[in-house]
Amino acid sequence: MKQIVAVVALATLAILLWQLAPIAMPSGLGVVAQHYAEHGVQDNRGANLVTSVVVNYRGFDTLGEVTVLFLSVSGAAFVLRRRTGLEVHEPRRASEIVRTGARLLFAPIVLFGTYIFVHGHLTPGGGFQGGAVVASGVLLLLLANKDHPLPHGFLSWTESLSGLGFVAAGLAGLWAGGSFLANRGILPLGTWNQLFSAGVIPVIYTFVGLKVGSELATLLDVMMHAADEEVHQ
Amino acid sequence: MDIVTLFNLEDLLICAVILVAALGAVLHRNLLAAVVFAGVVSLAVSYLFLRLSAPDVAMTEAAIGAGITTVIFLIAVRRTEEVEREEP
């Protein structure tokens, strides 16, 4: 019975999607996309148009996404919070090669993640991607040594301050340019395709990168330690 | 846009990999293997995004879908049971 229902549901979905396909694949750009494509470069001087859309035109959505991520990480940290007073079983240690390699690779990985979000307005990628790469560097450290001490105070301060910075940049746009997150009158737009260009966009994307990186690093740390306790209880 | 001009042989091969890995992720009894299959799906999908000229989305999919999400699922699997039980 269950399988019949599943098959019928799948078939219905397939028929619906088949009919939607021509609508979902329009032949040209829509009106809004056309505007972004034509005005993106002169509005923002960003070489990467996707970043202009994500951080400037749709910056408010990005703020919402960052907030959702923050809430989910806080929720995970609340549910899986570390309980003290449990006897901690000595975990099997990673080999010397893994530990040394992790320490060696941590700095280049974090540097690469930083490069991705600092160059978000020039090359593909940006705050979310760079932040994820930074967090994967932290993950490597945690895999090599589960009890590697993480600077929790530093992480939570980075996270909070970069969130505040994002909102502050948005308010600065409201003050100087007339609308929230407007990219006018705060920082000079500069020359197209230079590192210091595109006005406030790289600043905001750096905040997003720092925020996402510290949030994901905290989430991984919380998950790793929550996993322990269940096993050793 | 015709599907033949959009996709060459390699891309169709990648599509086949996506389908097989997705089936593996759904059907495999060992949850560890299922998570790895799901990671393979993300990685292959990120290649498709790259081929469809969306490098930004491809990077997100590779870093978050294939990287962080897989790890979080692996940690969660370690916390629970590794082998899915038969449905009663």
For position B21, what pLDDT does the model report?
94
CA distance A114 to A195: 13
Please compute, for residue B73, the number of CA atoms within 13 A of its CA located in the half-sphere on the CB side. 17
- The answer to whether the Cβ–Cβ distance between A220 and B64 falls below 8 Å is no
Per the structure, the complete domain to which residue A71 belongs is given by 45-232
- The answer to whether the Cβ–Cβ distance between A139 and B71 falls below 8 Å is yes
Average pLDDT over residues A220-226: 82
CA distance B23 to chain A (A): 15
Write the Ramachandran bin of B53: left for phi over 0, alpha for psi from -120 to 50, otherwise beta: left
Residue A142 forms part of a structural domain = yes
For position A10, what pLDDT does the model report?
92
The pTM assigned to this predicted structure is 0.81
Residue A22 forms part of a structural domain = no
Residue A194 forms part of a structural domain = yes
Residue A25 forms part of a structural domain = no
Residue A78 forms part of a structural domain = yes
CA distance A175 to chain B (A): 31
For position A137, what pLDDT does the model report?
92
pLDDT in tens, A68-87: 999 998 888 888 876 554 54
A28 Cβ neighbours under 8 A, 6+ residues apart: A34
pLDDT in tens, A163-202: 899 898 888 888 887 778 777 777 777 777 777 777 888 8
CA distance B67 to chain A (A): 8
pLDDT-derived band at B40 (thresholds 50, 70, 90) equals very high
Residue A9 forms part of a structural domain = no
Out of A124, A136, A220, whose CB is closest to B59? A124
Min mean pLDDT across A78-87, A109-118, A144-153 is at A78-87
Torsion angle defined by CA atoms of residues A151, A154, A159 and A164, in that order, rounded to the nearest 10 degrees: 170
Angle between helices A152-177 and A59-79 (to 10 degrees): 160
Number of domains in chain A: 1
Alpha-carbon torsion A169, A173, A174, A176, what sign? positive
CB contact B67 to A (< 8 Å)? yes
Instruction: State percent of chain A over pLDDT 70.
Output: 89
Q: What is the mean pLDDT of chain A?
A: 83
- The residue among A208, A187, A176, A225 whose CA lies nearest residue A62 is A208
CB contact A223 to B (< 8 Å)? yes
Average pLDDT over residues B7-34: 89
Which whole-number Å values give the CA distances from A173 to A120, A182, A200, A210, in the listed order?
20, 4, 9, 21
Using the predicted structure, report yes or no on whether residue A125 has a pLDDT greater than 90. Answer: no
Using the predicted structure, report yes or no on whether residue A223 has a pLDDT greater than 50. Answer: yes
Contact by Cβ (8 Å): A126, A49: no
- The residue among A43, A224, A229 whose CA lies nearest residue A146 is A224
Average pLDDT over residues A18-29: 70
pLDDT in tens, A30-64: 788 888 888 877 777 777 888 888 888 888 898 99
- The residue among B34, B18, B20, B24 whose CA lies nearest residue B84 is B34
